[in-house]
Structure 1
Amino acid sequence: MAFEELLNEVGGLGKFQIIQMVFILPPVMIAACHILLENFTAAIPGHRCWVPILDNDTVSDNDTGIFSPDVLLRIIIPLDSNLKPEKCHRFLLPQWQLLQLNGTFPNMTDLDTEPCVDGWVYDRSSFSSTIVTEWDLVCDYQSQKPVVQSLFMAGMLVGGLIYGHLSDRFGRKLILRWCLLQLAISGTCAAFAPTFLIYCSLRFWSGCSAVVIITNNWMLIVEWTRSQSKAMVITLITCAISIGQIMLGGLAFVFRDWHTLQLVVSIPFFVFFFSSRWLVESARWLIITNKPDEGLKELKKVAHRNGIKNAEAALNMEICKHNTLFWHLYQSTALWEQYFPVPEMQTLRVTLASVGISCVAASITSYSVHCNELIPTLLRAKALGLDVMASRCGSALAPLLMTLVVYLPTLPWIIYGVCPIIASLVVPFQPETRNLPLLDTIQDVENNKKFSREANEKDFYIKVTKF
C-alpha cells in the first residue's frame, strides 16, 4: 500500500490538516516580514550636517539675533545641484554674503566646505528612529547600510543549506522548533544591539532561521496533504508569505521606531515556539527513514483527530515495515541525473511592470508546486535548501546586473526576460505530477518516468511503488 493510500485512510484533508495550517501560516507570515524588514528599519530619512548655531540647545535666541532658522541654514549649509541643502557638507565658516543675494545662486565650489564632523540632524517626520539614525549610516558611511540586508540573505543561504540537511537527517519538526527559538532570540536581541556589528551578526542568524521556518512549515503541511489538495495548500502558503509582506507595511506605519518594529516581528516567535509542540512530525519522513513505529503512531494520531474510526486495521506494522527496503536507496545519485524609469510612457511602463510581477508571482507558485512534487521525501529538505541557496545567489546578483545600464540601459531587462524564456524550454521535458502522490524515494522517481503525462489517478494507484 502506497503512503498516499495510508494518508487517505487517516484523512487526506480533514480537521487535522486545517489545524496544522492554523499553526503553520502565522509563523510563515511573520517570517516573511523579516525578509523585507530593512526596507523600514534601515530607511534613510532626510538629513543635513549638525551645526552649533542652529542645533545646539545651549545657544539662545539672543545669540542668533533676528535671523530665522531658514536664513541661518542658508549661510551655513551649501546647496546641492537640485538647490536643496547639502546632506554631507557644511560651510567651513558662515557665508554672510549669501544674505545679499536675491534669487541668484553663486558657484558653491568656490566656497570652502567641510564634512559633517559633528554629526547629522535627521528628519523624523516619517520615522522617529531607524538603524541609519542610530549609527549615522549616511554620507561616507552609507555603503554600510546594504551590508545588513546582504548578511540576512547570506544567512538564508547558509541556513537553507545546513538546516535543510539537518531536517532530512533529524526531522522537520525538531529543526523547525529550533529555528523558531533561534529567530525569537536573535530578532529580539537585535532590537537592543549596542553596536552596528552586533546588529549585523544577529540579522545573519535571523536569516539562517527565517528561511527554515518557511520551508519546514511548508513540508509539514504538504507531506500530510493528499495529492488533489497539494496545489491549493501550497498556494495558501505562498499567499501567506505575500500577506506577511503586506502586513509589514502596515506595522511600519504604526510603529515608527525601529526598535519597536523589530520587537513586534520577533517576540511572536516565542509564542510560535511553544505552540509548535502540537505540530505533528511528517509520517512520510518517519517511514522513509526507517522509523515505522513512530510513523504508525503519528498516522493513528492523525486518524483520531480527523475522526476516522477503525483505521488501525489498515495502519498495521507490516505495511510500514516494508519501507525499510528504501533505506539503501538513500545512497543513490540517480535523482541528480535527471532603473529608474524615464517619464515617457509612464502609464505603459507601470502597466507592463505590474503584469510582469504578476506573472513572476504566478510562476513562483507553480514552480513551488511542481518542485515539491518532483523531489522525493528523502531529499526534499536538502533540495529546498539548495533551491533557497540558488534564489539567494540570484538576489545577490540582481543589484550587480543593474550596473550594466552604463553599457546599455535595457541590457538588465533583456537578461531578465531572456532567462525565463530559456528556462521555459526545458519545462515540456518535466513529468506531469498533477493529482499524483508525493514521491518518497529515488526509486519512485525512476519508476515515475514510466508514467504517461496523461496518467489519471486511477492508473497511478496501480503503478505506484508499494510500501
Structure 2
Amino acid sequence: MATGDVLDKDSFFSPFQTILVSLLSAPLTLVATHNLMQIFTAAVPPHHCHSNFTLDPKHLPADPCTRYVSPLMNETKACSEEDGWDYNRSVHTSTIISEWDLICDREPLKEVAQSVYMAGVLVGAIVYGTLADRFGRRAVLLCCILQIAAMGTGASLSPNFISYCFFRFLTGMGICGFLINDLGLTMEWTPKRFRPAVSMFQGYCLTFGQIVLAGVAYAITDWRWLQMALSLPFFIFFIFIWWVPESFRWLTLTRCSHQALINLNRVARINGDNTGSTITLEMLQQDDQKGGLVKKMTPFDLFRTPVMRKITISLSMSWFSSSFCFFALAMDIQRFGLNIYLVQVIFGCTELPLRILSTITATYIGRRFSVSFFLLISGVLILGSLAIPTDKMILQMSIAVLTKGFLGSSIVCAYLYTAELFPTALRVRKITPEVTNDSIHETGSVRGTKL
C-alpha cells in the first residue's frame, strides 16, 4: 500500500496537528502589523512652517508649506529646511514624518518607504520560495523569523531615512518568506478535509493582527518604540517554531525517507502511539523510487501546458488585483479625517464576519466560486464608491470597509485555492514520473491514524 493511501485512510485532526497549527498561527497575528505599520509610524501630524512672527494657529498661512516673510503677515514664501517645521505631537509623539520632515516637497518619500517595503515582499517571494524548495520549509521559516526580528529592530534604530528603507526592505523579504512557508508547512501537515477550516483560522489570525496593531499603536505613540515592540516578539516565535518538524512530504520528494520516518515516529509519540507510525521505511523508499527526480523544473513549467498556463495566468491576475486594492484601501485610512485608531479597529473587526462567510462558501460551495464572488463584489463596490461625493466621508468609509473585507476574504480563499491547484511536485520545483494529467491538480497532505 502506498504511503499516501495509508495516510488518507484514517486521517483525523490529531493533538500534534492542533499544537502545530497553534504554533504556526501565533506569529501570523503580527504579520499584518508589519504590513500596515506605516499607517501609524508614517502618520502625518498637523504641522506648519516655523515662524518667528506668529505662533497663533489662527494667524498662520493656510498653506502649511509656507511662512510669512514679515511681521505684517501679508506676504509668504515657501518653507525651507533651514526654517524647519513645528508639529502637533498631541496624538503621535514621533513619526518618520516628523523625524525626517517628509512633508511638502518631500511628501512622496512617505510612499517611497512603503513601496520599498512591498518591493522587499516581492523579492522575498522569489528568493525564499526557491530556497524553501532546496533546503526545506522549516529551515527557511526559521531564518525568515530571525530576519524579521533583527531587521525590524534595526529599522527602529535607523539614524536616517535611507537606512530605514533598507531595513524595511529586508523586513518585507522576511515577512513574505515567513508567510508563504508558514502557510505551506501548515497545509502539508494538515489532512485535506481540514484544510479549509485551518486556512480560514489562519486568515482570522491575520485579520486579528490589524486590531492588535491599533491597540499597540494607541499605547505606543513613538514610532521607534512601536517598530521595536512589534519586531522583538519574533525572537520568541523563533524558539517556539524550532519545535515544528520539517514537512513530511517535502522530505519524501527529496529522497530523505529516513528523516521523514523519524518525523512520523515523533508525531506518533506525541499523539500517544507508543508503537510508532503505521508507515515503514520500505514504504517511504518505494515512494522515493516512484518519485525519482527526473528533471529540474523552472517557472516556465507554470506555462508549459494549456491547463497550467490558464491556472497560472488566472490566479496571477486574481492575486494582483485583490492585493493591490487591499493595500491601497488599508494604507489610506487617514484620509477619512477620523481617529485612525478607531478606523483601524473598525476595518479589522468588519473583516472577521466576512472571513466566516468565506469559510462557509469555500467549504460548502467551492474555492473558485468564493474567490470569484468576493472579487466581483469588491469590484462593484470600488466602482460604486466613485459616485459618492467627497463630503460624504462616513459613507465612503463604510464602502471602503466592506470592500477591504471582501478583498481580504478573497485573498484567504486564494491561498487555499492556489495550494490545491498546483501539485506538490510543481510547488517543490521537481517533477516525477507519477505526475500525470489526472494528478496534476492534486495536492499533497500528511495524514494518518496517528498523524
- TM-score of the superposed pair, with normalisation by structure 2: 0.73
Letter in 1 for 2:285: K
Give 1:434's aligned residue: none
1:234 matches 2:225: no
Inter-partner Cα distance in structure 1 for 2:426 and 2:229? 35
Distance 1:323 1:21 in 2: 26
1:124-183 Cα deviation digits (max 9, x unpaired) = 111000011111111111111111110110000001101100001100010111111111
SS of equivalent to 1:295: helix
Task: Say yes or no: does 1:88 pair with 2:65.
Answer: yes
Select which of 408, 411, 419 maps to 1:364.
411
Q: Which has the larger radius of gyration?
A: 1
- Closer, same or farther: CA 136–344 of 1 in aligned 2, 3 Å: closer
Indicate the residue corresponding to 2:352 in structure 1. Answer: none
Amino acid at match of 1:17: Q
Question: Does the 8 Å contact 1:21/1:221 carry over to 2?
Answer: yes
CA–CA separation in structure 2 for the residues paired with 1:153 and 1:238: 20
Aligned match for 2:437, one of 446, 449, 455: 446
Deviation at 1:11?
5.6
Q: 2 CA distance for matches of 1:4 and 1:180?
A: 31
1:137 aligns with 2:102: yes
User: Is residue 151 of structure 2 the alignment partner of residue 186 of structure 1?
Assistant: yes
In structure 1, the residue matched to 2:46 is: 46
SS of 1:121's equivalent in the other structure is: strand
Does residue 262 (structure 1) correspond to residue 227 (structure 2)? The answer is: yes
Whether the 8 Å contact between 1:137 and 1:144 is mirrored in structure 2 is: yes
Structure 1 residue 444: deviation in Å? 3.8
2:173 is aligned to 208
Contact 1:187-1:202 at 8 Å conserved across structures: yes
Q: For this pair of structures, how many residues does the alignment match?
A: 360
Match of 1:321 in 2: 285
1:10–1:119 distance in 2 versus 1, CA, 3 Å: farther
Q: Which moved further from structure 2: 332-341 or 212-221? A: 332-341
Alignment root-mean-square deviation, CA:
2.9
Given that residues 11 and 306 in structure 1 are in contact (C-alpha distance below 8 angstroms), is that contact kept between their aligned partners in structure 2?
A: no
> Can you give the 5+ residue segments of structure 2 that lack an aligned partner in the other structure?
309-384, 446-451
Question: Separation in 1 of the partners of 2:398 and 2:432?
Answer: 45
How far the C-alpha of 1:315 sits from its partner, in A, is: 1.4
Corresponding residue SS for 1:39? helix
Contact 1:10–1:308 (8 Å) recurs in 2: no
How far apart are 1:22 and its partner, in Å?
2.0
Secondary structure of the structure 2 residue equivalent to 1:125:
coil
Note closer, same or farther for the CA distance 1:255–1:353 as it changes in structure 2 (3 Å cut).
closer
On the 8 A contact 1:190/1:262 being kept in 2, the answer is: yes
- CA drift of 1:331 comes to 3.2
Q: Which moved more, 1:348-357 or 1:203-212?
A: 348-357
Equivalent residue runs for 1:89-104 within 5 Å: 89-95=66-72
Residue 292 of structure 1, aligned match among 234, 257, 260: 257
Counterpart for residue 21 of structure 2:
21
Q: Is the 8 A contact 2:50 2:86 kept in 1?
A: yes
* Distance in 2 separating the partners of 1:299 and 1:9: 16
Distance in structure 2 (CA, Å) of the matches to 1:251 and 1:178: 26
Query: Within 5 A, what are the aligned runs for 1:295-444?
Result: 295-312=260-277, 314-324=278-288, 325-331=290-296, 336=303, 337=305, 338=308, 341-343=388-390, 353-380=400-427, 443-444=434-435
Distance across 2 between alignment mates of 1:378 and 1:37: 36
Paired with 1:92 and 1:345, the residues of 2 have a C-alpha distance of 38
Offset from partner CA, 1:79-131 (integer Å, 9 cap, x none): x2xxxxx2111011111xx6xxxxxxxxx6xx242424321000111100001
Q: Over residues 42-99 of structure 1, what are the superposed CA-to-partner deviations in whole Å (9 max), with x where a residue is unaligned?
A: 1010000112355xxxxxxxxxxxxxx52xx555x32x2xxxxx2111011111xx6x
CA contact (8 A) 1:155 1:205 kept: yes
Q: In 2, distance between residues paired with 1:123 and 1:442? A: 66
Give the 3 Å change call, closer, same or farther, for CA 450–252 of structure 1 in structure 2. Answer: closer
Which amino acid is 1:195 matched to? Answer: N
Q: Is the 8 A contact 1:168 1:378 kept in 2?
A: no
Equivalent residues of 1:376, 1:445 under 8 A apart? no
Q: Sequence identity, in percent?
A: 33
SS in 2 for 1:124: coil
1:124 maps onto 2:124 in alignment: no
SS at match of 1:137: coil
Letter in 2 for 1:93: S
Query: Cα distance, 1:345 vs. partner?
Result: 7.5
Which residue does the alignment assign to 1:219?
184
Corresponding residue for 1:32? 32
Q: Distance in 1 between matches of 2:396 and 2:47?
A: 32
Go from structure 1 to structure 2 and tell me whether the alpha carbon gap of 1:357 and 1:114 turns closer, same or farther (over 3 Å shift).
Answer: closer
Q: Which has the larger displacement, 287-296 or 339-348? A: 339-348
Structure 1 runs not aligned, ≥5 long:
55-68, 81-85, 99-107, 384-439, 452-459, 462-467
Secondary structure of the structure 2 residue equivalent to 1:241: helix
Residue from 110, 119, 123 that aligns with 1:154: 119
TM-score, L = length of structure 1: 0.71
- State the alpha-carbon separation in 1 of the partners of residues 271 and 250 from structure 2: 20
Look up the match of 1:101.
none
